[in-house]
Chain A
Amino acid sequence: AQKVTQAQTEISVVEKEDVTLDCVYETRDTTYYLFWYKQPPSGELVFLIRRNSFDEQNEISGRYSWNFQKSTSSFNFTITASQVVDSAVYFCALRQLRFGNEKLTFGTGTRLTIIP
């Protein structure tokens, strides 16, 4: 069985502070994908990143960065110099790499509030 844990239910930081959202996952598979999605108040899930389990390189995209550590089954997300527009619920998700099985297993999400 697969499981994704986002232990932080809610985080509030003052604008321009850095913030890290934690994600820990469980899977018996050796190959899998990890995702981060943003869910603004409008409700749609916005794709942020996908990481293949073979690739443990950290990734940076503008103010966003991701730290993937297979040894600790973690895939953490850091926002640098946070902005009010970053306020949203963020979900980490896991997907098996098995043909015909494309479903995502989501964590319970972290609600991030950026205080102006």
Chain B
Amino acid sequence: GAGVSQSPRYKVAKRGQDVALRCDPISGHVSLFWYQQALGQGPEFLTYFQNEAQLDKSGLPSDRFFAERPEGSVSTLKIQRTQQEDSAVYLCASSLGGFYYGYTFGSGTRLTVV
């Protein structure tokens, strides 16, 4: 597609429920990133893939967060046993990779845990 597509756009989950957020990057983009943006804050890095390899997951806040990109294109961010503090916008970005190319961000998934 022309841009980075994220689904669902909005998700309401009951505390303790598992959720899965999907990111479709731009075709051919090697690098894929997940960021978490709490209300009124800047995006914070969660994890990064180069093709199917997860090169950095240092930003994942707990072992309840898990991300995968099995075929090097679509990625899924899974949050198990959601907590209220997980409520945020989850942004996905993709890039051709390397230092020169910029990132294209999706519109995000707004997760509300009630």
Which positions in A face B, CB cutoff 8 Å? 4, 6, 33, 35, 37, 42-47, 50, 91, 93, 97, 100-109
Contact = CB atoms under 8 A, between A and B. Distances in A.
A44 B56 contact: no
Contact of A44 (B59, B95, B107): B107
Contacts of A44: 105-108
Q: Which of B35, B50, B102 has the most CB of A within 10 A?
A: B102
Given A43-B89, A45-B93, 14 more contacts: A6-B42, A35-B102, A42-B107, A43-B107, A43-B108, A44-B107, A45-B105, A47-B103, A100-B55, A100-B56, A101-B56, A104-B33, A106-B42, A109-B41
Contacts of A47: 102-104
A100 to B, nearest CB: 5
Interface string B47-59: 0101000011001
Given A43-B108, A97-B99, A104 B41 contact: no
Interface string B90-114: 0101010101001111111010000
Nearest to A108: B42
A102 B106 CA distance: 17
A103 B59 contact: yes
Chain B interface main SS type: strand
Contacts of B107: 42-44
A6 B45 CA distance: 18
Contacts of A108: 40-42
Contacts of B45: 103-105
Contacts of A97: 99
Contacts of A104: 33, 35, 43, 45, 103
A97 B95 CA distance: 15
A104 B42 CA distance: 11
B18 interface: no
Nearest to B109: A43
Contacts of B110: 43
Task: Give 3 nearest A-B pairs by CB, closest first.
Answer: A106-B42, A45-B105, A103-B45
